[in-house]
Every structure is written in structure tokens, then in C-alpha cells.
Copies of this chain bind each other. A is one copy, B any other.
Amino acid sequence: MISTATAADKAQIADITARAGVFSQEEIDAVPAMFDEYLRYGAEASGYHFIIYREGEQLLGYAIYGYRDLTDGVYDLYWIAVDPHARRKGVGRKLLQACEEAVRKIGGRLIIAETSGTEEYAPTREFYLRTGFVNEATIKDFYKPGDDLKIFVKRI
């Protein structure tokens, strides 16, 4: 049910991003632009690998990861988004596993997931902790005053 995304997935990806409930308008707007770069230049050159989880016609979630420039084997997990109607079915975990396998195959050593320290993102932080990430670094007031950057690292 997991595959790389194609042009036909664009509308459903945008729709899930808007309905996920945790992204800012700026973030919601960023995804189609990243997806266009992915379609136009490919995953390697754009730096954005899009993978999707689908049941039949229905896209239930997607993830974006990409190589961090100037490192040896570091990949950023930019985004995991799951349809709110498909929570608690392990979609996020399956997307993460697929990212990990893909990153391992291309020689990756580290996956970095950056997220916010606010209450709203507590489920996201718990998800990363449950799936083997460690919160190795924090930058206070990063996104805005009162909103810290939490850097989660998984060594694969």
C-alpha cells in the first residue's frame, strides 16, 4: 500500500495537509510547491522524496524525506501527515518504516525530525519517541517566542 507519489496524488496530498489540523497556513502552502519540485526534477535533484500510503483509491497519508546537504548519510524527515479519519491504524508508523528502509538502502545513517515543543505537537513528539527517535537537541523560542525547536534523531 506504500509507494512513491505521482502527479495524480497531488490533490489528495494537499487535502490531507489542510485537514491534518497541525500545520500552519504557511506550511500548508509549502507542500504543493515541494511536490511540484519533486515532480519536475525528481526526488534526488529536488531533495524531496514523497511517499504515500493508499487503501484502494483512498490516500490515507504521506511522508516527505530528503538528503541533508553536506552530510554523510543524514536524511531529514520533513513531514508525516495522516488523514484524521484514518488515525490509530498505524499509517504513520508504516510511512516511517518505509522512509527508514529507503534511507537505509541509499546508505543513510541518521534520520532527523524537527518539530515544535508546543502542547499542540505533543502527539507528534510522542509518536517519534515511540518509534525509536531521541530528542537530542532543543533550541528555545525557535519558531517563535514560546515555541521551541525539538530535534529528534533516529540512528539506523
Contacts and interface: CB of A to CB of B under 8 A. Distances in A.
A122 interface: no
Given A137-B137, A138-B137, A139-B137, A72 B144 contact: yes
Given A70-B26, A70-B27, A70-B30, A136 B140 contact: yes
Contacts of A144: 71-73
Interface size class of A (residues with CB under 8 A): 20 to 34
Contacts of A155: 141
A127 interface: no
Given A27-B70, A70-B24, A70-B27, A151 B139 contact: yes
Residues of A contacting B: mostly: strand
Interface of A: 24, 26-27, 30, 69-74, 109-110, 112, 136-145, 151, 153, 155
Q: Which 10 A-B pairs have the closest CB atoms?
A: A137-B137, A72-B144, A71-B143, A136-B139, A137-B139, A26-B70, A139-B153, A74-B142, A27-B70, A71-B142
Contacts of A137: 136-139, 151
Nearest to A143: B71
Contact of A72 (B71, B74, B140, B143): B143
